[in-house]
Structure 1
Amino acid sequence: MKKNIAIIMGGYSSEHNISIKSGNVVHKYLDREKYNPYRIVITKYRWYYLDELEQEHAVERSDFSVGIHGKKVQFDCVFNAIHGTPGEDGLMQAYFELLGMPHTSCDHYEAALTFNKRDLLSTLKPYGIPCATSYYLNKGQTVDDDAIVDKVGLPCFVKANRAGSSYGVSKVHNKADLANAIATAFKEDSQIIIESFLDGTEVSVGVITFNNEVTVLPATEIISENDFFDFEAKYLGKSQEITPARISEKQESNVRQLAEFIYKTLGLKGYTRSEFIFIGDVPHLLEINTTPGLTEESLLPQQAKTAGISLEELFDSAIVEALR
């Protein structure tokens, strides 16, 4: 019997529209002989099923079901395609765990931990994971430009602590520009992280569970036409994304081992995509995404394709692992 799959998309953050694109691609490629896919749009004010005629049907939140023309539809599994809150920060995961409903992403604590850049890096530092020097700042605190520059140097990156798709990120070359960069980051989050600039090759590495095994996908080399891999570079074609990355065998071995170690150490599940910058042969961790982009052009699907995994197989495997 075919399984009913709820593909959740949208969310509350600036990544809402990007998530809709990811969810629609999942909906397109799911095997109709195995699954009945349902597009479920999550917004701050409404949760609803969007049918093939673009008609909306309200979701019953008490049990995550949908009433369609007088018939109640319940789901066997949830495919999480929400980037940002509430799909990447643990909120939806906790909700589904309370309902006892299988879902394709990691558990709620791991989602919350990885979504919080500051907490993630603090958790991994005792394991010797290399990363940039960082300075933390919360909204309302006094901003000491001299202390920031003394700690992280210039240039530096100012980032919203809990955001994705490079929203709220600025590269700062001069101390006089810190105030504007901090204000930009605070538009996305009440917490920010300011990091030292790492001058080296940037790569993105997908790690997934595929056929019941942790699988490291080929790395993608990121070459931005802009000053860094910002929103335009990610989504508006202002970058080169080369898979597999043009890195040495030593670098490839180091980053694959590190990405797999992080995945297993944190107890992650489903899809992840981690970002690193090489200083010499040593990969330095920037961040981890636990609901990465899933369009045909997104990095994780590019990496899967290079590994010989089609979108149909990639999406099917996530559901199989969730139901396992």
Structure 2
Amino acid sequence: MSSAIRVAVLGGGQNCEHDVSLASATSVAAALDPTRYDVVRLTIDPDGGWRDGRGDLLGIAGAVHLLTTCDVVLPVLHGPKAEDGTLAGLLDLAGVPYVGSGVRAGALAMDKWATKLVAEAVGVATAPGVMLTAATARSYRWTHPVVVKPIAAGSSHGVALVTEPDRLEAALRAALALDERVLVEDLVVGREIDLAVLGRSDGTRIVAPALEIVTDGLFDFATKYDGSAVFQVPAALDEADLKALEHAALAVYDALGCAGVARVDFFLTSNGPVLNEVNTFPGFTEQSQVPKMFAAGGTSYGDLLDLLVQDVLEG
């Protein structure tokens, strides 16, 4: 085992995506080839405690020491205090190589308002919207259907479609319970299309086959995980639409400064792609969207993990 690559697989986290992250991390750890990798499991509890693979509390100093014994870290974490650049900053300071985006890209992509500004600056359309706080939300008036969402949360927690004015207050209250800022966007009518972009160590970019999400309504937290949504991959797209989506996905990926794999979500409207959001480390079980997209392009789940790890070691 001395010649094996020592990989820390980190899951959990201090946010509402804790359980989703645990599922992803468990799947990733199981898929790493034991003949090539020495897997070290670490978990962050909801209260911030760090545990090793046996479940023993390590403390932050003990966790950092363990991480520094690894060749590379696979931070399979989603949401605030994790995917938002927080963990990347810790690993940078500890001098430990890791898979995925760095501090800047993680922070920008987690902030949906900042992502909108970056996307629009490089010519990628976003839904018209406003940013509200607890103070300014009181003066906001509903005039048409909108989607309310926390600015920094994932897995569609706190997201609500508001089609009637008397439902606005509850939607804003639910979103503000998860974040001090919320985004209120116009409802966009279009097909929900996801693109996965993989940045390689040699500077090239790979875009996996596009995936379409088919639902009877809003793709919210329940729909994401109850099995009712249908993922069609490759999505049935004509050449012009596919090229427009791929161009927009690459433009946003590069403008944010992403690394490793990221999922860039769009609405495909009659006027072209409209960016929804960017996930710098999306759900990563074998049945999650990104692994399904790469599998459709001929890259298996295990091979995708190999690419992510090897690119960090070679970079």
Matched, 1:48 2:51: yes
Aligned residues: 310
SS in 2 for 1:304: helix
CA RMSD of aligned residues (A): 1.7
Q: Which moved more, 1:137-146 or 1:82-91?
A: 137-146
Matched, 1:109 2:104: yes
Deviation at 1:156, TM superposition (A): 0.8
Indicate the residue corresponding to 1:186 in structure 2.
176
Specify the alignment match of 2:133 in structure 1: 138
Please state how far the C-alpha of 1:248 moved relative to its aligned partner: 1.7
The 5-angstrom pairing of residues 153-172 of structure 1 reads 154-172=144-162
CA drift of 1:211 comes to 6.7
Match of 2:90 in 1: 95
> What code does the residue aligned with 1:50 have?
G
Q: Does 1:11 align with 2:6?
A: no
Question: TM-score when scaled to structure 2?
Answer: 0.94
| Change in 2 beyond 3 A, CA 1:92/1:288 | same
**Partner-residue secondary structure (3-state), 1:271:** strand
1:204 aligns to 2:204 (yes or no) = no
**What SS does the corresponding residue of 2:24 show, helix, strand or coil?**
helix
Unaligned runs of 5+ in 2: none
Identity %: 27
How do 1:12-51 residues align onto structure 2 when only pairs under 5 Å count?
12-43=14-45, 44-51=47-54
Match of 1:310 in 2: 300
Q: Which residue of 1 aligns with 2:58?
A: 58
CA separation of 1:142 and 1:312: change in aligned 2, threshold 3 A:
closer
Query: TM-score if structure 1 supplies the norm length?
Result: 0.91
Question: Following the alignment from structure 1 to structure 2, what is the Cα–Cα distance between the partners of residues 126 and 64?
Answer: 38
Distance 1:38-1:314 versus aligned 2 partners, 3 A rule: same
Equivalence for 2:286? 296
| Ranges in structure 1 where 5+ consecutive residues have no aligned partner | 67-71
d(CA) in 2 for partners of 1:266 and 1:45? 28
Change over 3 Å in CA distance of 1:314–1:211 after alignment to 2: farther
- Which residue is equivalent to 1:122? 117
| Residue matched to 1:265 | 255
Residue pair 1:50, 1:57 contacting (<8 A) in 2 also: no
Partner of 1:319: 309
Contact 2:12/2:21 (8 A) holds in 1: yes
* C-alpha deviation, 1:279, in angstroms: 1.4
Instruction: State the Cα deviation string for residues 242-299 of structure 1 (Å, max 9, x = none).
Output: 0011222211111011111221222210110011001115100010000111112100
Q: CA deviation at 1:7?
A: 0.6
Contact 1:211 1:317 in 2 (8 A): no
Which contiguous aligned blocks of 4+ residues in structure 1 show a shift greater than 6 angstroms? Answer: none
Counterpart contact for 2:195–2:264, Cα < 8 Å: yes
2:201 and 2:258 map into 1 onto residues whose CA distance is 16
Describe the shift of the 1:142–1:162 C-alpha distance in structure 2 as closer, same or farther (beyond 3 A).
Answer: closer
Q: Which whole-Å deviations, capped at 9, do the CAs of 1:73-98 have from their partners, x for residues lacking one?
A: 81111101001122211100001011
Change in 2 beyond 3 A, CA 1:36/1:291: same
* Aligned-partner Cα distance in 2 for 1:59–1:8: 15
* Residues 181-232 of structure 1: per-residue CA shift (max 9 Å, x gap): 001111211110000011111101110124743100111111113x210112
Once residues 68 and 192 of structure 2 are traced to their aligned partners in structure 1, the CA distance between those partners, rounded to angstroms, is 45
